[in-house]
Structure 1
Amino acid sequence: MTTVEQAEKLILAEAKDFGMETIPFEQALDRALAEDIKADRDLPPFNRVTMDGIAINYKAIQSNISVFKIKTTQAAGDEPVETGRVDECIEIMTGAALSPSLDTVIQYENIRINNGEATILNTEIKKGQNLHLKGADKREGDIVVCSGQIITPAVISVAASVGKRDLMVRKLPRVVVVSSGDELVDIGVEPSPVQIRKSNSYTIQAVLAQHYLRAELAHIPDDPRITREKIGNCLQNYDVILMTGGISMGKFDFIPKALEEMQVKTVFHKVSQRPGKPFWFGKHESGVLVFAFPGNPVATFMCLHRYFLPWLRASQRLGAKPPVYAVLDKDFTFKPELQYFLQVTLKFSEEGKLLAIPVEGNGSGDFANLADTDAFMELPMERSEFKRGEVFRVWPFNNI
């Protein structure tokens, strides 16, 4: 049976570049940046005042001048005002551009203004204080944001500040989420006593939407002919097929045979893990990838976070996320020789440690438990006893 580590390696080996596209920067949030953003001018573009007060030439301080005649008041956005005498000052506001004839700003708290004159109170003055000098952050042409990262609100801010109206981003794969089984009905339909409403497809779609990926939905009934037709259609129109259910060994699990008939090569089937042991992964000769998750909701949810999202990140050339580790907050026992993904809630202790509190449900079909948990803790298969205080990797699916 394929191990978790082997499955991860085989999946990441199929990471694929789907190309690039240019979109307006306002629409680029959470996309993968595919170009360096460069400064179109020095940052800041002028000597920028950082405190409200008066601007002087420091030579006045060296000459023991402490009273200045206020020439005028300059607001942010005004053209810089020069002074002709060392005992003159400009009353100036935060964000204003400072004239080359001035080099120091004294905030209002350290001066007294009366009859058009500003008097420095008893305070130490340093040359260049309260100024953000031109080009101190970046020079024209310098890289201000490197490619290969998620576009955050901060990146949007930088793009706007350098006039980068359009951004080049990585294209996302075309993804379809396929459910199967006659026991599933739409959410608006009253199920019979032996039916259940579809939930896995909407769960997957919602998770992918968090990553700016808009997946379409499809459903396959328990019919071998329709199964082949729908899978054939998906192979022609999508880059990735995410399937949920129908991959076990049941009499009505027609999907494995249909995939084989459609020349989808099995990369692996069954992983030594719980939940999600029946997980199937394959590749069509055209390059289309098929992730066939087990039908149990918790198994689907875990496999999506443990395998598909890292593949998506690799395909977007983002690099692996730094792993997150937590301290097990309670003794736990799991005896089968399988890698176990324990549902946990996460919290920080007063000492700043990330604690994982086990939440034991009723198996991989207990999807209601997911609403009360934050992550899966990955426990190694070589052991069955896990002690409070031990540290293991966690795969968060809620913000911590």
Structure 2
Amino acid sequence: MSAALPLAEAQAELLKLAEPLPVEQVDTASALGRYLAAPLNARRTQPPADLSAMDGYALADAGRTSWRVIGESAAGHPFAGPLDPGEAVRISTGAVIPGGADAVFLQEDAARDGETLGIAGDPPRAGRHIRRAGFDFREGDRLLEAGARIGPAALALAISAGHASLPVRRRPEVAIIDSGDELASDPADCSPHQIPASNGPMLQAMLSALPCVTRRLGPVPDRRDALAQALDEAKTCDLIVTSGGASVGDHDLIRPALTDWGAEIAFWRVAMKPGKPLLVAGRGRQLVLGLPGNPVSSFVTGFLFLLPLARALLGAASPLPHSCRALLGAGLPQGGKRLEFLRARWDGEHVVPLAEQDSSGLNALAESNALIERPAGAAALGAGAPVRIFPLQPAAVA
């Protein structure tokens, strides 16, 4: 029996198999959540001209004490012509600064009598309240690198930079198969010897934070012919995710079913808790990720393997989950023989491990918003000690 892989090695091996999907061009406004397949350069300058940052008056010769108002510059309707010394125009936020103007005088500091403008508050200063042309970016500037995630701000940036469409990777098609004779498809009609099939919907919900096309197959009974049929139904998918049956018991049939299907097993054990029986396989360009059946194990391995794999297929530059440091709000005993991920509550500074850490405990999982990484054999820690954590929300960000 092969030795279980360390987590970092297993993740690295997984991502080696994840070749980004083909590139397609999509409308920029609909690219939210996708990852750039090429660097993004500005096609225009922003702002394209000197603009007013405030409502007030654009002045020529800010050192004077009075000016003559000769017109107006409004957003989208610039004043025609330059200003001579001693002249001013009424100006609104975002309007073009006329030629010859060297400052914007705030409306609340100005005193106006007909066409004469004087000072009622702080005097104007040269260069004040002017957004210079190109202060944000200039045509040709590199704005985003390939693999950057297109969030709301990046989407607005791309549009402002003159891009009506963007190159992104095709959405991965993902089939989710939960297997086990004990699984009931209807949670409202569950016999005493059954449990509701919750892993499939949970994994589908986790993937919903990413631009994936998902479909569920199952629950599938513990029979090789049933698993073969499910795999055949998923034969056009980029990624097949199974839950349950990835171990070596008499009823754990994922590995032999995959072998029958023509898949090659890359690795199937990872030295972590929860989640040791994890399987990775491939058939051509298709990838198979076999997750444990216990719901907490399925969630944790989904967070650490499924989501990074989906991000990699989408072309993410950094597909692995984000971690940070936090201070323990309660002590921890010495670590066990394997790397462990503890469900915990985090308030942004202190993190407290939950009392229940059983791999079937959905109640504690739903209560947690972070995972504490506990190295194998780690020394006992007291409250206030720093630990590495993985925030669980939002799961898609990377």
Q: Same fold (TM over 0.5)?
A: yes
Q: Following the alignment from structure 2 to structure 1, what is the Cα–Cα distance between the partners of residues 241 and 277?
A: 14
Deviates more, 1:296-305 or 1:187-196: 187-196
The 3 A distance-change label for structure 1 pair 83 and 339 is closer
Deviations 1:158-215 (A, max 9, x none): 2222332211112232211101122212236511111111110010000111122231
Q: How does 1:178-193 map to 2 (within 5 A)?
A: 178-187=177-186, 189-193=188-192
Alpha-carbon distance between aligned partners in 2 of 1:179 and 1:40, rounded to the nearest angstrom: 48
Corresponding residue number in structure 1 for 2:40? 37
Maintained 8 Å contact 1:57/1:101: yes
Hey, what does 2:344 align to over in structure 1? 344
- Give matches, 1:242-257, under 5 Å: 242-257=241-256
Note the 1:318-397 alignment, pairs <5 A.
318-319=317-318, 320=320, 322-333=322-333, 336-348=336-348, 354-361=349-356, 363-383=358-378, 385-397=380-392
Aligned 1:163-178 pairs, distance under 5 A: 163-178=162-177
> C-alpha distance in 2, partners of 1:93/1:368?
55
Aligned to 1:95: 94
> Structure 2-normalised TM-score?
0.90
1:338-374 superposed Cα distances (whole Å, 9 cap, x missing partner): 21111111113xxxxx322010225111112111101
Bigger drift between 367-376 and 218-227 goes to 218-227
Distance 1:74 1:129, change over 3 A: same
Which residue identity does 2:77 align to in structure 1? D
Consecutive unaligned residues of structure 2, counting only runs of 5 or more, are none
**What letter corresponds to residue 147 of structure 1 in structure 2?**
A
TM-score when scaled to structure 1?
A: 0.90
Which 4+ runs in 1 deviate beyond 4 A? none
1:130 to 1:10, Cα distance in 2 relative to 1, 3 A = same
**For 2:88, what is the secondary structure of its paired residue?**
strand
Count of equivalent residues: 389
Instruction: Indicate how the Cα distance of structure 1 residues 293 and 84 shifts in structure 2: closer, same or farther if over 3 A, else same.
Output: closer
Query: Which residue does the alignment assign to 1:71?
Result: 70
Query: Is 1:4 the counterpart of 2:37 in the alignment?
Result: no
Deviation at 1:119, TM superposition (A): 0.7
Query: Which residue among 7, 31, 47 is the counterpart of 1:28?
Result: 31
Give secondary structure in 2 for the equivalent of 1:163. coil
Q: Which residue is equivalent to 1:139?
A: 138
**1:295-334 → structure 2 map (5 Å cutoff):** 295-315=293-313, 316-319=315-318, 320=320, 322-333=322-333
Q: CA RMSD in A?
A: 2.2
* Segment drifting more, 79-88 vs 253-262: 79-88
Question: 1:74 Cα deviation (Å)?
Answer: 2.6
Shift of 1:19: 1.7
Instruction: Give 1:325 deviation, angstroms.
Output: 2.2
Residues 358-367 or 155-164, more deviating: 155-164
| CA distance in 2: counterparts of 1:19 and 1:99, whole angstroms | 48
CA contact (8 A) 1:71 1:83 kept: no
Q: Is 2:59 aligned against 1:56?
A: yes
Q: 1:287 and 1:122, CA in 2 relative to 1: closer, same or farther beyond 3 A?
A: closer
